[in-house]
Amino acid sequence: MRTTLIKTLLSSLLLLAPLLAGAAGNEGRLFEMQVNGASRSYKLYVPSNAQGPLPLMIVMHGGLGNADDTERTTGMNRIAASNQFMVAYPNGTGARLMKKRRTWNAGKCCGQAAEQNVDDVQFIRSMLGDIASHHPLDRSRVYATGISNGAMMAYRLACEIPQDIAAIIPVSGTLALNSCAGAKSVAVLHIHGAKDSNVPYAGGMGENAIAGVAHRSVPETLQIMAKAHNCAGSSEQALPDGSELTSWSCPSQAAVQLRLIPNGEHVWPGGDSRRNRKLFAGNFSASQAAWDFAKQFQKNR
């Protein structure tokens, strides 16, 4: 009886081994580097058997988050494995006693990073160079997304280093700078939940004013983007996944769009976290939408 049980357990482990190996292979590798005298880090996921220069999606965590959590909850690695692009999960900065609770200096927000004027733009630029030293990178196809404070940071990258970023997909976070004329060559897909109480669609502090700042509204943010792109009017349509798409008419190839989730809250739509499953019950995947949008664009280099 005991021998039979042992054989059954061993057989089960052998069957599980490929699945466990696949799970381990779907996690990014941690890299550390020095930027402006400070230690910074990021995780990099490269699809197995990847060859040649690959596109890159930068995915930035929200305020008080970190790269590990963002990699786990967005499910972006699954999209990357199917479509052969790399994913970078950079870490913001945190207090000495709260190193896992990190923020980005996106302008007016957020936390210690903004208060100490941390140069996160330079960190991302340095990270791109470091990534290229580990795997061939298609510098014409670098995209940036993120949630909340990470979305605000994606906007800042579009504003300040548009030569390095082909498209941004901010999720649940608005522009935290006073202007963004530099983004005229960067495509924008903004994803937001209509019931977001942290970064309200209509702007302001919100019910859960964790950041302690009044956020710019989604309409005003996109008006600034549309002006930078010299766009004219907009059109709306309801999509099968339940989201509502607004597209601006822009003369340049860099599009400006909004995907509004009517019942969406302050989460990554379609993500893997327990909080996401509780607060978002739709069929919309922000990770899939980010890639479907971004892959259309590249920089002339």
Q: Using one digit for the tens of pLDDT, what is the confidence trace for 213-224?
A: 999 999 999 999
Contact 129, 153 (CB under 8 A): no
All domains of the chain in start order, with CATH = 28-294 (3.40.50.1820)
Is it true that the peptide bond before 109 is cis, omega within 30 degrees of 0? no
Instruction: Express each pLDDT in 159-169 by its tens digit.
Output: 999 999 999 99
**pLDDT category of residue 209 using cuts at 50, 70 and 90:** low
Residues 8-17 have a mean pLDDT of 31
Q: Are 182 and 114 in contact (CB under 8 A)?
A: no
99-122 pLDDT, tens digit per residue, is 789 999 999 999 999 999 999 999
The reported pLDDT for the residue numbered 281 is 65
pLDDT exceeds 50 at position 239: yes
d(CA 60, CA 144): 8
At residue 88, the 3 state secondary structure works out as strand
Q: Is residue 238's pLDDT more than 60?
A: yes
pLDDT exceeds cutoff 90 at 69: yes
What's the pLDDT at 253?
80
With bands split at pLDDT 50, 70 and 90, how would you rate the model's confidence at 280? confident
Q: In what order do the strands lie in the sheet with 137-147?
A: 29-35, 38-45, 86-90, 54-60, 137-147, 167-171, 187-193, 256-261, 244-248, 234-238
Largest CA distance in the chain: 76
Place of tokens 């579009």: 158
- The number of beta carbons lying within 10 Å of the beta carbon of residue 298 is 18
Q: Which residue has the tokens 């280093």?
A: 161
If one counts every other C-beta atom within 10 angstroms of the C-beta of residue 112, the result is 16
Q: Where are the beta strands (DSSP E) in 223-274?
A: 234-238, 244-248, 256-261
Task: Give the per-residue pLDDT at 11.
Answer: 34
Consecutive H or E run containing 16 = helix 2-25
- Return the closest-CA partner of residue 294 out of 55, 25, 43: 55
Please, how many CA atoms are within 13 Å of residue 27, restricted to the half-sphere of its CB? Answer: 11
The rounded distance, in Å, linking the Cα atoms of 59 and 73 is 11
pLDDT for 8 beyond 90: no
Predicted confidence (pLDDT) at residue 195 exceeds the cutoff of 50:
yes
pLDDT at residue 98 is higher than 90: no
pLDDT at 3 over 50: no
CA distance 168 to 203: 20
Determine the average pLDDT of the residues in 147-158: 98
Question: pTM value?
Answer: 0.90
User: Mean pLDDT over residues 175-196, rounded?
Assistant: 96
Q: Where are the alpha helices (DSSP H) in 145-203?
A: 149-160
